Amino acid sequence: MKNLNRIWILASAMALVGTGCDKDDIDAIYNFGDRETSGKYKYVITATPAGTTGIADYLLSTPQLDTGAITTSGNGIEQDGSYRYYMTHKGRFFSLLYGQGNPGAVTTYRFDSAGARLLKTSEFQTETVQAFTKVNDELLLIKIPRSGVETASFYRIDALKSQQIGSAAINIVQLAANGERAHFTWATQVGDKVYAPYMSIKGCCNDAFGTVYPDSTWIAVLSYPDLKVEKVIRDNRTSYIGNYFNDGLGVTENGDIYGFSSAIATNTSKVISTKPSAVVRILKGTTEFDKSYFFDVEEASGGHKISAQTYLGNNKFLLMMYGDKHANTGNRKMALVDVVEKSFGWIKGGPEDIQSSSAPYNNNTGSGDGELGYIGINTASGSWIYKIDVKTATAIRGLEVQGGKITAITKVEY
């Protein structure tokens, strides 16, 4: 029976070649269907090539991140468009085209059963979205208008079948309830709910992302799967959590939730936040900020603000910090914090001229136990993966990525 199945698959593949079908589709016949992942994994690095048009990134796969080099030259899978965003779930790697207001393609890839090749398994259209997350066996995509339309649209995608299975809408002007509009910065599954932090923005007046409410924090608690607003959790000790395309929530192993604020709210392009860049907490099983907890990271760092965060496990977070004091400018600097101990320390060994780094919202490459993590760093002289050794607070240069700037690193099971 197995031999007959192989003959049928081969015959089908040959027939598809005769009709001019894409080779990735042929490869999909050989390797996929309902196959479960084995627990093994490889890494997918996305890199934007220099001096090209119409290519957002190349997808490069590698079994390790510690040594050697990998190149976009004659290698990888091209991703079309100007911008792409990526995530992985259930052994699938999803490439989302940012259509700049127009619908965009979502392309699904999987590694074959041997982990040898990354192959396209499906492609479908969805609205261009500005935030996305994983909930149970689904992807949750969120389209958030910065002006005009007053509703944010939520789309539920079955990650196993790569198809939309539901949608919902939330009136963001009513949610803000202050004359401005709520602009979700990201979303995170917490138990059977979705927590969606938001910033308050004008959405008009040639100052769409400006606000007159710079010193407040909001998280909308949404039911799932119907996505109704059950409650808004509020605080006024720091500014909004996260930022545009920047996840600001982390959930630790014991279920506590930590929110990271850059405190960089603006009005007419000037930073007007008066509160410090800080971390706040919601204890497991509660829907209020823990008033007994406040971690002033700006003070602990000697005056620097948080740019982005990545959870490494065991209460440890890797922070990217703005290089200039009390501002959202300057080359980024890396730091480690323990949110329970409220400890802060700069990471040694990293480059001095960090221009950009891999997107933290999909960085799942750490060991998960708070011992190490990986981050892609782009400098004027090149791009490398750096391993972060938490115990020594040291960055160790690893795999070089040639021919492009690193935009994401993702661990994908096969």
Tell me whether residue 183 is in a domain.
Answer: yes
DSSP 73-87: TT-SEEEESS-EEEE
Structure confidence by residue, pLDDT tens digits, 171-191:
999 999 999 999 999 999 999
Residue range 289-313: average pLDDT?
97
**Residue 9 clears pLDDT 80, i.e. is over it:** no
Strand arrangement, sheet containing 356-357: 69-71, 394-402, 382-389, 372-379, 356-357
Integer Cα distance of 227 and 169 in angstroms:
8
- Span 312-318, mean pLDDT? 95
Burial 255-266 (b: 16+ CB within 10 A, else e): ebbbbbbbbbbb
Instruction: Determine the distance from the C-alpha atom of residue 6 to the mean position of all C-alpha atoms in its chain, rounded to a whole number.
Output: 39
Q: What is the pLDDT of residue 111?
A: 95
Is the pTM for the entire model greater than 0.85? yes
Residue 117 domain-assigned? Answer: no
33 vs 217, more confident: 217
Q: What is the DSSP string of 338-368?
A: ETTTTEEEEPBS--S-B-EE--GGG---S-S
Tokens representing 55 are 């290519």
The helix/strand/coil state of 9 is helix
Comparing CA positions, the residue from 101, 179, 103 lying closest to residue 144 is 101
Q: Report how many domains make up the chain.
A: 1
pLDDT over 90 percentage in the chain: 80
pLDDT value for 31: 52
Residue 231 in this model has a pLDDT that exceeds 50: yes
Q: Using one digit for the tens of pLDDT, what is the confidence trace for 245-293?
A: 889 999 999 999 999 999 999 999 999 999 999 999 999 999 999 999 9
The 8-class DSSP code of residue 305 comes to P
Tell me what pLDDT residue 20 has.
36
pLDDT score of 254: 96
3-class state of residue 6 by DSSP? helix
Q: Which of 296, 407, 414 is nearest to 361 (CA)?
A: 407
Angle at 42 (CA atoms; ends 38, 46), nearest 5 degrees: 140
What average pLDDT does range 142-156 have in this prediction? 96
Residue with tokens 């007994």: 292
Q: Is residue 193 part of a domain?
A: yes
Range of the domain at 170: 129-306
Residue of 393, 356, 395 whose CA lies nearest to 374: 395
**Does the pLDDT of residue 105 top 90, yes or no?**
no
Beta bridge partners of 7: none
pLDDT at 344 over 50: yes
pLDDT in tens, 50-86: 878 889 999 999 999 999 999 999 999 999 988 899 9
Which of 104, 245, 101, 105 lies closest to 184 in space, CA to CA? 245
pLDDT at 366: 78
Predicted pLDDT of residue 354: 95
What local confidence, expressed as pLDDT, does residue 7 receive?
32
Rounded Cα gap, residues 84 and 46, in angstroms: 9
Check: CB of residue 117 under 8 Å from CB of residue 172: no
Q: What is the average pLDDT value for the chain, to the nearest integer?
A: 90
Residue 401 and residue 48 in contact, taking contact as beta carbons nearer than 8 Å: no
Q: Which two tokens stand for residue 248?
A: 């600001």
Residue 107 lies in a domain: no
**Structure-derived torsion over alpha carbons of residues 386, 388, 394, 397, reported in degrees to the nearest 10:** -20
* Nearest alpha carbon to residue 408 among 41, 63, 84: 84
Per-residue pLDDT at 18: 31
Q: Indicate whether 410 pLDDT > 70.
A: yes
Q: Rounded mean pLDDT of 346-357?
A: 95
Q: What angle do CA 312, 316, 318 make, to 5 degrees?
A: 65
Hey, what's the torsion of the CAs at 106, 201, 323, 408, to 10 degrees? -10
Token readout for 390 is: 């938490």
The yes-or-no verdict on residue 23 having pLDDT over 90 is no
Find the mean pLDDT for residues 15-28: 40
pLDDT band at 32 (very low <50, low <70, confident <90, very high): low
pLDDT band at 369 (very low <50, low <70, confident <90, very high): confident
pLDDT-derived band at 45 (thresholds 50, 70, 90) equals very high
Q: In this predicted structure, what is the pLDDT of residue 25?
A: 53
Residue 378: the pLDDT is 97
